Amino acid sequence: MNICIIGMNLTSLILSKSLVNSGCIVNVFNFNKKLTNYSTRTIGISNSNVNFIKRNIINLESKQFHNIKKIRIFSDNKREILKFYNKGENLFSLVEVNKFFNILNKNLKFNKFFKVRNLNEKTFKQTNFEKNFDLVINCEKNNFISKKYFNTNFKKDYNSIAYTALINHKKIKNVEAKQYFTELGPLAFLPLSPKTTSVVFSIYNNKKYEDESLKKFVLNFKDSLNIKKFSKFQKARLNFSLSRKYYYKNILLFGDGLHQIHPLAGQGFNMTLRDLKILLDIIKDRIANGLELEELCLKDFEDQAKPKNFVFSEGINFIQDFFRIKKNFGKDKFDNIIKKIGNNKRINSFFIKVADKGILGI
């Protein structure tokens, strides 16, 4: 089976690795020579998805992930309102995007079933991808294929800017992720190692801040971290997008082009991995039964993934909106409501299960 993947990013590489493992020939087409700089970006991967990666894609060493065993949620007055803890088991793992990208790229580099082709934009637009390949999977959200075939989306402007940075600090155990719902927006501390923590600060109303102002604010919530150094902050506008169409003929939209959600719950890449599970099962089944990869398998993927992605993404939007309007409740009243919900063992267990396995886990 000859498959074309458009875009050179983390999603395209993890998709490529899973497909060559299944015996497919994969050509990655890239026309954007300037790759996005992810130097301060991290991704959280749920425990079930880490196991999926190790079984089906690449057997990463434990040290390449940093495991998180507890999640604590605080109000802006540093009062704990929620806690997720699963008897000492890992809740999710964190990895730097650059590091994961390089691991996959190095692994695929000498694979005979994998090739990267760099094109200029003119040649890219003139290439008849759908005619030359069994399947075309577009892993970019703003190229001409997305605009031509997948230009109808559910959209929402979060009216927020996400600032990300890495902080170096004295060595600690560092297995707790913490999130503070401040008046400016949610501020998350995500452990990457005993000496490194990622900071993700999603600021409401698209307010822009200089690095020094951001550092000063973050230091108010550093808790027990003895911070030595901040990296430079990177920023990105936050928007919600969910495509109404998943495929056109033999072209599939995948990854960020298919859905983008608020980083509040760290579930964006987990949604992509759950999509990959569905797609991989469909492709493996068709290969095992001697069937071609064509439009019908993409319809099957859409039928399975679309309702789950819609419900899950709307759930994230509800949580984001709910915490944003807390001032209408009164701080203490709101915090007490959340705390009562979190103290319910069944509800707490439900949230842990959904965060780990998505709607599939219900």
pLDDT per position as a tens digit, 341-356: 677 777 778 777 877 7
Kindly state whether residue 338 falls inside one of the protein's structural domains: yes
Model confidence at 74: pLDDT above 60? yes
Number of structural domains in the chain = 1
Q: Is-above-0.75 flag for pTM?
A: yes
Type of residue at 115: K
Residue 209 lies in a domain: no
| 324-347 CB burial, b ≥16 within 10 A, e <16 | bebeeeeeeebbeebbeebeeeee
Q: What is the CATH number of the domain that holds 256?
A: 3.50.50.60
Is 111 within a domain?
yes
Query: Which DSSP category does 62 fall into?
Result: G
Stretch 35-51: mean pLDDT: 80
Looking at the chain, the whole-number percentage of residues with pLDDT higher than 70 is 93
pLDDT of 124 > 90? The answer is no
Residue 51 lies in a domain: no
Domain membership flag for residue 325: yes
**Structural domain boundaries, residue 118:** 2-36+92-156+240-361
User: pLDDT: is 268 or 31 the higher one?
Assistant: 268
pLDDT tens digits for 222-260?
A: 888 999 999 999 999 999 999 999 999 999 999 999 999
Residue 274 contacts residue 247 (beta carbons within 8 Å): no
Give the single-character DSSP code of 113: T
By the 10 Å C-beta count (0-12 exposed, 13-18 middle, 19+ buried), 128 is classed as: exposed
Residue 49's pLDDT band, with cuts at 50, 70 and 90, is very high
Q: Is 62 inside any structural domain? A: no
